[in-house]
Amino acid sequence: MCQQTRVDTAIPYYHRFLERFPTPGDLAEATEDEVLAAWSGLGYYRRARLLHAGVKEVVAQYGGAVPRGAEERRGLPGVGRYTAGALGSIAFDLPEPIVDGNVARVLSRLDRIETPLGRAETERALWTRAEALVAGPRPGDFNQALMELGALVCTPKAPGCGACPWAADCAAHAAGVETSLPVPRPKKKPVPVSLTAVVATRGRGADREVLLERRAQGELFAGLWMVPMVEAGPTQLALGDEAAGSLRDDAQRCAREHGVSGTLEADPRGEVIHVLSHRRYRVRVWRLSAARTRPESPLVPQRLDGLSELGVPRLTHKILSAALPSHES
């Protein structure tokens, strides 16, 4: 959970996840919907699917216990060099290195590594240094202390060099360049994507249902439940009278392509902005009531009061809130 998510954000999810799935067997027997529902809100849902797959293999192949051997650990779904090292050092007290964002920052400053993160030579230097440092007593404690040093002392801005046990040995501190390191990897701006979403509902009150589709494997948001959407094309249309016809055409096309019909409102309910690391979505939201589906439609009716039991991403909740003001994510 803490890969690409802050610890303080992950903690409540972690506790709820362990309450829901207290043993590897419980998690292995759970459905993907149950796992994604427990993960919902953390984002980067591929992590949850890989965790689920990895635990299934641990239960099936190793009797529910994570294997001690490094090769076996690296063979589990979703376990790369960092996760394998964390398991090896913390769980088995083996001298295996880890390099996460906090560790990379500490070591980049300690050795004054001035090549950008993500570059092959930078990664080699970081892992070589981490491997040398962990070769001592209590490797698990050392790796956790190294991560904590980066999180609490050797921070991205205004590092607390006066409290750092390595200050005297830090090449970046000696040169007064600690705040300029590490050199970040070049970032690409999120690609703008304009979408049209149709929130199709039927029924009233507590029995009201919304029609959702489960995204296929290999697609973005794979395995998660989404409202029908289509790409509106590269032109960034503006809401207003001039664009109203084109916008409605997109909504009608969205409904048609997803095999649903009903009463489409005359105007969109508004728009939602949702930013991921690589895409910036602008979604115009339409409401369609008294929904009916054709046999080939991929849409499945889901009760609004039961969405907490499904893997529903934040984007879907935003869209539902725009179309149905009473919906709370």
CATH of the domain at 276: 3.90.79.10
Which of 187, 208, 224 finishes a domain? 187
In a domain, 255, yes or no: yes
pLDDT at residue 255, rounded to an integer:
95
Task: Answer yes or no: do 200 and 179 share one domain.
Answer: no
312 vs 226: CA distance, rounded Å? 7
Task: Answer yes or no: do 305 and 203 share one domain.
Answer: yes
In a domain, 281, yes or no: yes
* The pair of three-digit structure tokens given for residue 217, joined into one six-digit string: 């494997």
pLDDT at residue 5, rounded to an integer:
85
Task: Answer yes or no: do 248 and 291 share one domain.
Answer: yes
User: Coil, strand, or helix at residue 21?
Assistant: coil
pLDDT at residue 233, rounded to an integer:
52
pLDDT at residue 203, rounded to an integer:
86
Task: Answer yes or no: do 214 and 308 share one domain.
Answer: yes
pLDDT at residue 244, rounded to an integer:
53
Task: Answer yes or no: do 197 and 182 share one domain.
Answer: no
In which domain, by residue range, is 170 found? 97-187
pLDDT at residue 274, rounded to an integer:
94
Task: Answer yes or no: do 310 and 195 share one domain.
Answer: yes
Task: Answer yes or no: do 259 and 286 share one domain.
Answer: yes
329 vs 325: CA distance, rounded Å? 11
Q: Which residues pair with 193 in a beta bridge?
A: 281
179 vs 155: CA distance, rounded Å? 9
pLDDT at residue 113, rounded to an integer:
98
| Residue 240 pLDDT exceeds 80 | no
In a domain, 318, yes or no: yes
pLDDT at residue 170, rounded to an integer:
98
In a domain, 56, yes or no: no
* Residue 200 pLDDT grade (very low, low, confident, very high; cuts 50, 70, 90): very high
| Residue 253 pLDDT exceeds 90 | yes
* Residue 242 pLDDT grade (very low, low, confident, very high; cuts 50, 70, 90): very low
Which of 157, 187, 217 finishes a domain? 187
Overall domain count for the chain: 2
Asked whether 158 and 114 are in contact (CB, 8 A), the reply is no
Which of 187, 207, 239 finishes a domain? 187
The pLDDT mean for the chain works out to 91
Task: Answer yes or no: do 168 and 223 share one domain.
Answer: no
Average pLDDT over every residue of 259-263: 95
204's CB contacts (< 8 A; 6+ apart) are none
In a domain, 2, yes or no: no
User: Lowest mean pLDDT: which of 13-22, 48-57, 192-201, 224-233?
Assistant: 224-233
Instruction: Tell me the pLDDT tens digit for each residue of 123-135.
Output: 999 999 999 999 9
CATH number of the structural domain spanning residue 177? 1.10.1670.10
| Positive or negative: CA dihedral 74, 76, 82, 87 | negative
